[in-house]
Structure 1
């Protein structure tokens, strides 16, 4: 191909080259996009996915604007600059640095330079012109890098000013045990980490309602969703927090832990959530406010629901086979004996029945369980099972019996 004249200055030469280069634009955009998704793990994804479309949009916009500038600068770069600022802003909001974007710029610079160099050879351009084109490409990529950095810094400043957002993130970090994130988040949240914590789980009183949480003041940090909230406070601040929550009743119900050390926060969070579940199921009958310290045994017994269900089917099978009325009175009588080891008259007084009724029931209990009642391990196990299960049954949970009959009829 005959060489283009270069005696009209770089601007004129570049402007005359752009129409010849534009047909390669789709191929160059596709190559850069593919290389970015292949070599930058953070931006990997399917060839026709949303991330692929976003990268293609950004690359196409940048390359098209660069060519417009070479051709004479007739189009404004505000739209492209805004796009890259938004990309940097999004990286910051996602908790990421700009390393993935910088890796993408390096790929774009390399691919762009290779295409320019091959084009220059085909057009028999001088080394000087090629060098000027390369300088223009590098300057433009530096400009886009700065736009992304501006967006990233803007987002970081916004995040650091957003105390509530950082407090929510701090709650999540503490409850997930992500200790490395805690100092920075605590500084941005303006919350001093205490030596010990009280954990609260808050939910609407009625399940179909959305949670409307009152302002709990500066002593608490909160991560609230539409139907539940996790609250952390120091022990000396819990009274004020609970007073505010009580003032919101009957709209909300909540459970609170005893003071725990920081390593125990994930466990304490699990306990208060479980306490609310047991309250909703009727096993814990404290009403809108549940003190987990008063229900440690029930929380322990219900910490593994699947294990309880399996052991009920294995160890209490003779009891499950009784009629509904029989299993209710027998389980109540057996549990009373296991808990007290009292005489028939004492158990009768506790249950409000005649001693002879207790003796009759005890005879039936011996018939269905037999020698197992003399096995210490069996006694320990069924004591725990009945303490966990009888409150469920009384609250109306029939799943143990339904499961038994389903297995029997299978």
Structure 2
């Protein structure tokens, strides 16, 4: 330790006063720790109790040994105060509360020294060198804390990105929210009551600058895709920032869900982009998944859809491609609306008589099955999923049925 840390050497005053103070060090250190917790509320928590007590006791032991001319090392005390500063910097705080704590400690130790000096009949003037040394040592300890604070602040800045990545990875993987909580402070991110998950499709050569995104939005990137997680209020801004960087980006935006449901929301948004790429959902730049929940749900089980199509849509699969298209379209509108022929005709842009003709053919194909409520519900859902596939050019249902019929 530099000689400037304490300017006092061994003196008659120090030899008379400090041994008695040293004998009471554990009790004084405890009193100092209690006073610090009382006057500096930030240090009132149980997690601060032992570090503060240890640092205070170690610093006092060094100061007394140094003042008595003993071969003591400052390394332990310096390291403890550097760690306290590091902790403040790593947590995003300043050194004001640690400065207050050091001033509290110095004041109590000085009071103890004065009491002991008075008991020995030593004049206050004889203590001036000792007081100067105590003040200099307190400043030295704060210098160590500043050094640690600078290092902690640097690490915090570097670790913020890592903490944000662990948060978004954990949320999308379904990690226990309690396990993710420690990362929120480092990441400067508050977990909303509900989150919105956004899947982003990017050109393979595109790279996102995450620093341009709102701090309230977490982002995970990979080649050709990204995932955003944040509160609903931040959705539009996040999309706008990504589009400013990558105009060709396409988005699928989920409706708000509880954080524990983020993995499911991530699957839904990815599925929506996949369905859009196949032509099953419209190629909108920003797909609002809320508008396509049924399609996203039904296409979650492609094998079941295929089996239900072979079973429930058999009458339509026997028709020609053109007949199957117009009859399935008419049937689905009726199942969804139960409207009259004129209303359905207006929706489809054809003459009401055309709808009546189609309806007669539909009744010939399905007969009394259209009066079975459970069958009708299943028929509507499988039609809603299958018609989109057929319109996108997927004829595998018809080909599969033809192969079975041969």
Normalising by the smaller structure, the TM-score range is: 0.5 to 0.7
**Secondary structure of the equivalent of 2:195?**
strand
2:184 aligned residue: 186
Establish whether residue 262 from structure 1 lines up as the match of residue 229 from structure 2.
no
What is the TM-score when the length of structure 1 is the normalising length? 0.57
Q: Please say if residues 220 and 228 of structure 2, whose CA atoms lie closer than 8 Å, have aligned partners that are also in contact.
A: yes
1:195 aligned residue: 193
Question: Unaligned stretches of 5+ in structure 2?
Answer: 1-153
Q: Please say if residues 256 and 290 of structure 1, whose CA atoms lie closer than 8 Å, have aligned partners that are also in contact.
A: yes
Report the Cα distance in structure 2 between the residues aligned to 1:318 and 1:349, rounded to whole angstroms: 26
1:321 aligned residue: 318
1:401 aligned residue: 398
The residue correspondences of 1:195-234 to structure 2 (distance < 5 A) are 195-204=193-202, 209-215=204-210, 216-234=213-231
1:235 aligned residue: 232
1:77 aligned residue: none
The residue correspondences of 1:8-407 to structure 2 (distance < 5 A) are 161-179=158-176, 180-204=178-202, 209-215=204-210, 216-248=213-245, 250-285=247-282, 287-407=284-404
Highest CA radius of gyration, 1 or 2? 2
CA 1:349/1:193 → structure 2, altered by over 3 Å: closer, same or farther? closer
Q: Please say if residues 160 and 166 of structure 1, whose CA atoms lie closer than 8 Å, have aligned partners that are also in contact.
A: no
1:110 aligned residue: none
Q: Please say if residues 202 and 229 of structure 1, whose CA atoms lie closer than 8 Å, have aligned partners that are also in contact.
A: yes
Report the Cα distance in structure 2 between the residues aligned to 1:239 and 1:348, rounded to whole angstroms: 38
Q: How far apart are 1:397 and its partner, in Å?
A: 2.0
1:135-175 residue CA offsets vs partner (Å, 9 max, x unmatched) = xxxxxxxxxxxxxxxxxxxxxx9799343333222211112
Q: How far apart are 1:355 and its partner, in Å?
A: 2.3
Question: Unaligned stretches of 5+ in structure 1?
Answer: 1-156
2:29 aligned residue: none
Q: Please say if residues 196 and 259 of structure 1, whose CA atoms lie closer than 8 Å, have aligned partners that are also in contact.
A: yes
Greater RCO, 1 or 2 (C-alpha within 8 Å, sep 6+): 2
**Secondary structure of the equivalent of 1:396?**
coil
Q: Please say if residues 250 and 288 of structure 1, whose CA atoms lie closer than 8 Å, have aligned partners that are also in contact.
A: no
CA RMSD of aligned residues (A): 2.4
Report the Cα distance in structure 2 between the residues aligned to 1:261 and 1:296, rounded to whole angstroms: 17
Report the Cα distance in structure 2 between the residues aligned to 1:162 and 1:406, rounded to whole angstroms: 59
Report the Cα distance in structure 2 between the residues aligned to 1:200 and 1:217, rounded to whole angstroms: 14
What is the TM-score when the length of structure 2 is the normalising length? 0.57
Report the Cα distance in structure 2 between the residues aligned to 1:202 and 1:219, rounded to whole angstroms: 17
